[in-house]
């Protein structure tokens, strides 16, 4: 069974979001510190899997090959920085498709769980939107983390999250807290959601 898995949203968490969507590698801009954060997670035995809605496919804004190219370049950048993304699970659908994989539905995480036999109860999902937090809850992840990059500030106003930790202002500070608390995630009394400020 695969333990210590961190699921990450992509746009607004790893790279800067755009109201016009990310349609090419030229439009993909890493959020400062995200490459180092992945490296630090990996160095401390955390497995990173990306869970992302990419409706650009069914909106006919990007081809499957185009999306795969973006992800290939992203993974290469992480590798050059000393980190690794184990896998990327994405939903190509638009909301009207009513699929079971578009967040907040849990399909992508469940697909990852079946692929790698992941211990979801001891996993973490980090994202910048209400959809990410609800996806984590719907899938049965042990914890969900709302970050204030991307849409996180607006999501924070909507979600009623009991915060265990807050106001950690940099990505690496978040990871440095996560690592020594890895054993803490398994405690039933600590189940739930909390948020960090990754800025």
**List of domains in the chain:** 5-196 (3.40.50.1000)
197 catalytic? Reply is no
* 184 neighbors 176 (Cβ within 8 angstroms): no
Catalytic residue among 11, 128, 132, 197: 11
Q: Kindly give, in sequence order, each residue whose CB lies less than 8 Å from that of residue 49, ignoring residues fewer than 6 positions away.
A: 5, 6, 7, 8, 85, 86, 87, 88, 89, 112, 116
Catalytic residue among 9, 128, 132, 197: 9
65 catalytic? Reply is no
Helix (H) or strand (E) holding 11: none
pTM, two decimal places:
0.82
pLDDT at 194 over 90: no
Using one digit for the tens of pLDDT, what is the confidence trace for 125-178? Answer: 888 888 998 999 899 998 778 776 655 555 555 455 544 333 223 434 554 555
Q: What's the number of CA atoms in the CB half-sphere (13 Å) around residue 115?
A: 12
């Amino acid at each position: 069974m695969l333990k210590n898995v961190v699921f990450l949203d992509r746009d607004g968490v790893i790279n800067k979001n755009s109201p016009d969507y990310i349609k090419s590698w030229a439009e993909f801009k890493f959020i400062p510190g995200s490459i180092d954060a992945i490296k630090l997670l990996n160095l401390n035995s955390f497995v990173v899997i990306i869970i992302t809605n990419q409706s650009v496919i069914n909106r006919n804004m990007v081809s499957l090959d185009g999306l795969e190219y973006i992800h290939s370049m992203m993974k290469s950048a992480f590798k050059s920085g000393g980190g690794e993304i184990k896998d990327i699970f994405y939903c190509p659908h638009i909301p009207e498709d009513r699929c079971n994989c578009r967040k907040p539905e849990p399909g992508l995480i469940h697909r990852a769980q079946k692929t790698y036999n992941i211990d979801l109860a001891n996993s973490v999902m980090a994202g910048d939107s209400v959809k990410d937090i609800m996806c984590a809850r719907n899938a049965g992840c042990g914890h969900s983390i709302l970050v204030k990059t991307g849409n996180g500030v607006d999501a924070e106003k909507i979600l009623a999250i009991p915060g265990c930790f807050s106001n950690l202002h940099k990505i690496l500070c978040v990871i440095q807290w996560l690592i020594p608390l890895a054993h803490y995630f398994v405690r039933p009394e600590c189940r739930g959601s909390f948020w960090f400020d990754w800025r």
